[in-house]
Amino acid sequence: MTPLRIGNASGFYGDRFDAMREMLTGGGPAGTLDVLTGDYLAELTMLILGRDRLKDPDAGYARTFLRQLEECLGLAHDRGVRIVTNAGGLNPAGLADAVRELADRLGIPVRVAHVEGDDLTARHPGSLAAHAYLGGFGIAACLREGADVVVTGRVTDAALVTGPAAAHFGWRRTDHDRLAGAVVAGHVLECGTQATGGNYAHFADHDPRTLHHPGFPLAELHEDGTAVITKHPGTGGLVDLGTVTAQLLYETAGARYAGPDVTARLDTARLTHEGPDRVRIEGVRGEAPPPTLKVGLNRLGGYRNEVAFVLTGLDIEAKAALVRAQMTEVLAKSMPADVRWDLARNDHPDAPTEETASALLRLVVRDPDQRTVGRALGAAAVELALASYPGFHVLAPPGNGSPYGVFEDVYVDQDTVEHVAVLHDGRRIPVAPARDTLVLADVPEPALPEPPPLGPVKRAPLGLVAGARSGDKGGNANIGVWARTDDAWRWLAHTLTTDRLRALLPETADLPVTRHTLPHLRALNFVVEGLLGEGVAAQHRFDPQAKALGEWLRSRHLDIPESLL
C-alpha cells in the first residue's frame, strides 16, 4: 500500500500565514499531499480563546485558519488534499459553519465535518475553559464518511495524524504498534518548523541562509506505522537526525508517551538517516492507552502588575536594596497576595554603552483584586523618581493590573466523555472510547552504556557536545538533552545526573527533578516539577514556557573530556 503523505502547515496560533499555500504548492505534481493538518492550540491559546468567547459567544476559534482557507480552499480541492485542523478551539461547530459559508461563497463543493465532545466546562464551575484531550478516531469517522475538511476542538496534537492514518489504513483501536508509530510521527509534525531546523540547538553548524525560511514538515506514513519525516524539495531548513530527535524530546517525559488512542513507547523508536532531508522512524511499540483522558482547566487567577527598575553602573546590589525597601513600605499598605522580586544582572563592568552597564530589578505583584495591583503601584514607583537611588528610572510606568490565567490538568474516565463525529449532512456518529486500556506505570530505567575511558578534561560549555530542547506542560518543564555520537552519549549518560542538573541550573535546586533515559535516541529527558508555577498564563518566571531552559543548560560549563571536544 502506498504511504499516506501528511503535511503540517501550523504549529501554533500565529504561525506563518503563508504556510498553507506553501504546503499545497511546494511539492509539485509528484509531491502532492494526501492530508494537510494545522495545529493551532496550546494551553495558553485555550485561555485566549476563552476570553474571546466571553466578549462574543460566536467566537472561540482560530480566525487565522479561516483567512488562510479563503486563499487555499480551492487549491486544496483541486489537488484532492483533505484538511484536518484543531483550529475549532472552543467552538468547532462555529468554525465548521464558517467554513461552509466560505465554501458556498467561493463556489467550492467541499464537505465539512467537525468533532465535538471535548468541552467539559459545565462540569467544572469557575473554569473559563475545561476541555478533554480527545483522540483521532472522531477524525477518522469524519474522513471515512467523505469529509474534505475536518474541524476539531481540543484533541491531542498527534490525533491530527492518527485520525487520518486510521481512516486511510483501516486501523482498529487495538492496532497499538501502528497507532504508536503515527503518534510519534504526529508529535514530530505538530510544531511545524521545529522539525525542519527551527529552534534547533545546532543551527550554527549550518549555512544561515538555509534556515532563513524553513519549510514545513511532512510524514510519509506506512501501513505498519513506520514513517519517514521529510519536507518539500527545494524548501528551506533541514531534516536530519538531530532535528527529529529534538522534536521527539519536546514536551515529553519518560519512555511512555500516553494519549487517548495509544501509549507510545518512545524508548523503542529508532531513527535512521535515509537520504537528504529524510529520516525514517521505525520500531515504535505501542501499548493500550490509559483509561482516563486528560482535561485542561483554564481559569482566571487574578490580576498582575509589574515594574522594571533600571539600575546602572556601580553599587547595583545596594541600589536594588534601597528601592526594594522603599517599595516594600508602600506594598505593606495594600498587601498584595503575591509579591516577587527578581534582579537580573545584565550589567558589565566598564561597559561601552549605558544599556550594557545596567541591570534590571523586576517587581511583580499579583492579587485577586485588580485595585490592589492597579495604578497605586505605578504611582508609588513614579513618586520615587527623585527620592531613590542615583540614576533612577523604570522601563515603563505600570498601568492598571492585567488579568492572568491559571492552567491545571485533571483526569476523567474515557467513557464519561461523549466523543462525537458530526458529518457534513448533520449525522452524528458516536465514537466509542477505548475498551482495552492500561493504567500507566513507570518503565524501569535501562542499563547505562559503559562509561567512557578516563582522559584529560577541559572546562567548556555542555552545548559543545550535546543538543537540548525544552518546553512546558502546565506548571512543569522538560529538558531533553541528546548526544550526537556514541562516545558523547556514554559520557553524557554518566555525567548529567539529576544532582548535576540542579547544580548547573540553580533555579531547579529545590524542585523535584526526574531523569528518563532513552538510549536509542542517545538522550536524557528531565522533568522539573513546579518550575513554571501555575502555567504559562501565570507568567511565573522570566521564561514562562521554559523555551530557553535547554539553551541555558547548554551554556553552562563543566569538565568535558578533551577527546569529545
Query: pLDDT, tens digit, for every residue of 276-310?
Result: 999 999 999 999 999 999 999 999 899 999 999 99
CB proximity list for 480: less than 8 A, separation 6 or greater: 246, 248, 249, 250, 252, 468, 469, 470, 523, 524, 525, 526, 550
Q: Are residues 396 and 422 in the same domain?
A: no
The CATH number of the domain where 388 resides is what?
Answer: 3.30.70
pLDDT, mean of residues 119-139: 96
- Whether residue 65 is contained in a domain is answered as yes
Q: Are residues 187 and 79 in the same domain?
A: yes
Q: Are residues 277 and 310 in the same domain?
A: no
Q: Are residues 487 and 465 in the same domain?
A: yes
Q: Which segments within 379-522 are labelled E, that is strand? A: 393-394, 402-413, 420-422, 428-430, 457-461, 466-473, 476-483, 513-518
Q: Are residues 194 and 331 in the same domain?
A: no
Question: Exposure of 551 by Cβ count < 10 A (0-12 exposed, 13-18 middle, 19+ buried)?
Answer: middle
Domain count, the chain: 3
- Whether residue 127 is contained in a domain is answered as yes
Q: Are residues 271 and 326 in the same domain?
A: no
The domain of 311 spans 305-405
CA 50/CA 90 separation, integer angstroms: 7
pLDDT, mean of residues 509-524: 96
pLDDT of res. 31: 63
- Whether residue 52 is contained in a domain is answered as yes
Q: Are residues 268 and 315 in the same domain?
A: no
The vertex-277 CA angle with 273 and 283, nearest 5°, equals 40
- Whether residue 435 is contained in a domain is answered as no
Comparing CA positions, the residue from 266, 268, 538 lying closest to residue 405 is: 538
Q: Are residues 346 and 259 in the same domain?
A: no
pLDDT, mean of residues 100-123: 97
pLDDT, mean of residues 530-552: 88
Whether the predicted pLDDT of 461 surpasses 90: yes
pLDDT band at 30 (very low <50, low <70, confident <90, very high): low
148 within 8 A of 139, measured Cβ to Cβ: no
How large a percentage of the chain has pLDDT more than 70? Answer: 99
Whether the predicted pLDDT of 417 surpasses 90: yes
First to last CA, the chain: 46
Q: Are residues 96 and 60 in the same domain?
A: yes
pLDDT band at 198 (very low <50, low <70, confident <90, very high): very high
Q: Are residues 114 and 246 in the same domain?
A: yes
pLDDT tens-digit map of 171-190: 999 999 999 999 999 999 99
pLDDT of res. 400: 85
- Higher-confidence residue: 43 or 117? 117
pLDDT, mean of residues 253-282: 96
- How do 82-85 and 35-38 pair as beta strands? parallel
Residue whose C-alpha cell is 469557575: 126
> What pTM was estimated for this model as a whole?
0.94
Q: Are residues 17 and 99 in the same domain?
A: yes
- Whether residue 441 is contained in a domain is answered as no
Walk across the sheet containing 466-473 and list its strands.
466-473, 476-483, 523-528, 513-518
CA 116/CA 144 separation, integer angstroms: 17
pLDDT tens-digit map of 201-235: 999 999 999 999 999 999 999 999 999 999 999 99
pLDDT band at 375 (very low <50, low <70, confident <90, very high): confident
- Whether residue 449 is contained in a domain is answered as no
- Whether residue 442 is contained in a domain is answered as no
CA 323/CA 309 separation, integer angstroms: 9
pLDDT of res. 330: 86
pLDDT of res. 378: 80
CB proximity list for 70: less than 8 A, separation 6 or greater: 102, 106
- Whether residue 91 is contained in a domain is answered as yes
Q: Are residues 400 and 275 in the same domain?
A: no
